[in-house]
Structure 1
Amino acid sequence: MGCELDTAGVAEAIEVFISGWNDHDLVRHFSVFAEDADFVDVVGRRMRGRAEIFADQSARHAQRFAESSVRTLDLDIRMLREDVALAHYRWEMVGDRGPDGSGTGVRRGIFTFTLCRESGAWLVVAAHNTESIV
């Protein structure tokens, strides 16, 4: 399988992540995370394992992110090996109500994903989300 097909598979996994968020379907959103995935959220909290990540993010999504949506500003994928990829996903979010419920306007940031192909499927094994102030 060539790198072009692998890159397409990685992009597909990221699209599931995005569309799951926008459809407010967090089961689908995190279905592309490995069971033992690591995640550092936008405020620097580290979570381990899909179950912990899902529980934390589901609670947040039900409150401040219930009406949010994200769009892709840029997706850059670099194949590290035929079964390992590094993806940088620049995002823009609207509809975040903020921690106090007053709204935050437009937010932007970047996710760094490490994905591995396991049994033909691309799964996120590590993710780090950083908000951009520019």
Structure 2
Amino acid sequence: MDQADERDIRDTVATYTDLWVRHRMDEWGALFTEDSDFITHRGLWWRSRRENVAGHEDVPASVVEQKKSYTQEVLSVQDVAPGVALVHTAWRWPDHRPPGAAPEDRRGIVTLVMVKRDGSWLIRAAHNTRENGLEETA
């Protein structure tokens, strides 16, 4: 993978994070292929861009307000095949306050499979995994 492709992938992930924080879900969804898969930290599997966007739009306003503290950092970008990349990111969401619960400092890892289509890098698959806190929500 050349430096330009890696830079473009990192820019796409930065845009993904910015749009997610601002809860601009339609624009955020445009970063995914139509046939994308998204597995949530709770194990829900959305099998299209439409399902992914609808699922992420369906959150309480109190959670949307808290997104400003969310951050995401690219940990690695690896070339898998021409036009295909494997990307790992680490996310943090300090003082996340689920409805009716005490605040949590959440963190996790997202694995992305990205594909280059018509000169742009898009997300074909994403898997979000929480690193902490799930044992409390059994």
Q: Normalised by the size of structure 1, how large is the TM-score? A: 0.88
Q: Check conservation: 1:65, 1:96, Cα contact below 8 A.
A: no
Matches within 5 A, 1:1-134: 3-60=2-59, 62-69=61-68, 70-98=70-98, 100-133=99-132
Q: CA deviation at 1:106?
A: 1.4
Task: Report SS of the residue matched to 1:124.
Answer: strand
Q: CA deviation at 1:61?
A: 5.9
Q: CA deviation at 1:73?
A: 4.2
Percent sequence identity over matched residues? 27
Q: Check conservation: 1:3, 1:79, Cα contact below 8 A.
A: no
Q: Distance in 2 between matches of 1:61 and 1:119?
A: 36
When residues 124 and 82 of structure 1 are mapped into structure 2, their CA distance, relative to the original with a 3 A threshold, is: same
Which residue identity lines up with residue 91 of structure 2 in the other structure? W
Deviations 1:29-88 (A, max 9, x none): 222111110010000110110111111110126453432232134431111123000000
Gap regions ≥5 residues in structure 2: 134-138
Which residue identity lines up with residue 20 of structure 1 in the other structure? L
Q: Check conservation: 2:89, 2:109, Cα contact below 8 A.
A: yes
Q: Check conservation: 2:10, 2:74, Cα contact below 8 A.
A: no
Q: Check conservation: 1:109, 1:129, Cα contact below 8 A.
A: yes
Deviations 1:63-118 (A, max 9, x none): 534322321344311111230000000010135331x3334321100000000000
Q: Distance in 2 between matches of 1:118 and 1:26?
A: 21
Q: Distance in 2 between matches of 1:117 and 1:37?
A: 13
